[in-house]
Amino acid sequence: MAVELGFEGSVIEMDNQIKELAALEAEGDVSFQLEIQNLTEKRDNLLKEIYNNLTPWQIVQVARHPKRPLFSDYIDGIFKGFIELHGDRNFGDDQSIIAGICTLEEEKVFIIGHQRGRDMKDNVKRNFGMPKPEGYRKALRVMKLAEKFNKPIITFIDTKGAYPGIEAEQRGQSEAIARNLFEMSKLKVPIICVVIGEGGSGGALALGVGDRLLMLSYSMFSVISPEGCATILWKDAGRAPEAANALRITAQDLLSFGLIDESIEEPLGGAHRNPELMTQTVKEILITQLKGLKRLSIKRLLDKRYEKFMGMGQMFKE
């Protein structure tokens, strides 16, 4: 079943008409090619117009779309020979983060990312993509392994945030996140981070410190969820659309601030409409970015990473 986005208006209707025509054509001997072509063109024009003018809150809806490609889809679509590595060697194996080894074309790489579930059952197993400390510690353990064997790291970010719960606090959610920020800023291998859906606060950043931070064009990255911000400011989560606007959480805004390095264009109508094209685009960009980073000496790489973060901030310096 198609999931409707309110702002897509008559796009959904046209989608259904196209599907019906195709079904009719398959049944009988009448050709609807021309009609289908015309309708498809009309729909695509409408999609283009809508998606060129999305509000931040609409982008949040796309970023959270239930059909949006997940980290596992990128693993399947981009990498070969993936072997998952489990556990933090201390407490457990947090399934809201997947880590492992694989190849990107000829290149051996480590990949780590937030994993949400596709359905309710899967989401329970994945804790809705919200890691506990052992998830971040697993990520760090695997990143250290990458450093030891001198292999690049690619991270995929897609989380509402680190899990806010009793056990998470008992096991040191803060320390786990802080430790990752500290260690990632000095890991002696190239690190590329890609926000594929929701980049929720510290829980997202804990996989986001690297040489490149890329965002899909309809993903979001924020210090607090729009709902959380609206609740604090106006005691009304219903005003999240205004908060989404105020917080400047889109790839376009963050690129203009110089806080991310690149916005990756999504297929027409968002990644969920064409996951194959999306993964292919991300693959090509990862190959290009990695090539660029591998040209740098480790010292230069780390100096540039350091300078990048030191430059982040806006203030009056009297």
Kindly list the residues in this chain that would bind another protein in the complex (CB under 8 A): 162-166, 168-175, 177-179, 181-182, 185-186, 201-202, 205-206, 208-209, 221-224, 228-229, 232-234, 246-249, 254, 257, 259, 305-306, 309-310, 312-318
Closest to another protein by CB, 151 vs 171, is 171
- How near is the Cβ of 148 to another protein at its closest, in Å? 18
Smaller CB separation from another protein, 150 or 174: 174
CB of 187 to another protein, least distance (A): 10
Closest distance of CB 235 from another protein, Å: 11
The two structure tokens encoding residue 142? 């695997």
Amino acid at 220: M
Task: Report the Cα–Cα distance between both ends of the chain, in Å, rounded.
Answer: 58
**Cβ nearer to another protein, comparing 5 with 195:** 195
Q: Who's near 313: CB < 8 A, 6+ residues apart?
A: none
Q: Give CA–CA dist 311/109, Å, rounded.
A: 28
- Give least dist CB 93 to another protein, A: 20
Sorted by sequence, the CB contacts under 8 Å of residue 126 that are 6+ apart come out as 95, 96, 115, 116, 117
Which residue, 30 or 299, has its beta carbon nearer to another protein?
A: 299
Closest CA to 205 of 292, 73, 312, 95: 312
CB of 142 to another protein, least distance (A): 19
Beta carbons of 109 and 152 less than 8 angstroms apart: yes
- Least spacing, CB of residue 80 vs another protein, in Å: 31
| Least distance in angstroms from the C-beta of 299 to another protein | 13
Q: Which is nearer to another protein, 142 or 193 (CB)?
A: 193
Complete DSSP assignment for 89-121:
SSS---TTEEEEEEEETTEEEEEEEE---SSHH
Radius of gyration over alpha carbons of the chain, in Å? Answer: 21
Nearer to another protein by Cβ, of 181 and 285: the residue is 181
Q: Which is nearer to another protein, 72 or 217 (CB)?
A: 217
CA 212 to chain centre: 14
Task: Classify residue 289 by burial, with Cβ atoms within 10 Å: 0-12, 13-18, 19+.
Answer: buried
Residue 273: which residues within 8 A CB-CB, separation 6 or more?
A: 47, 267
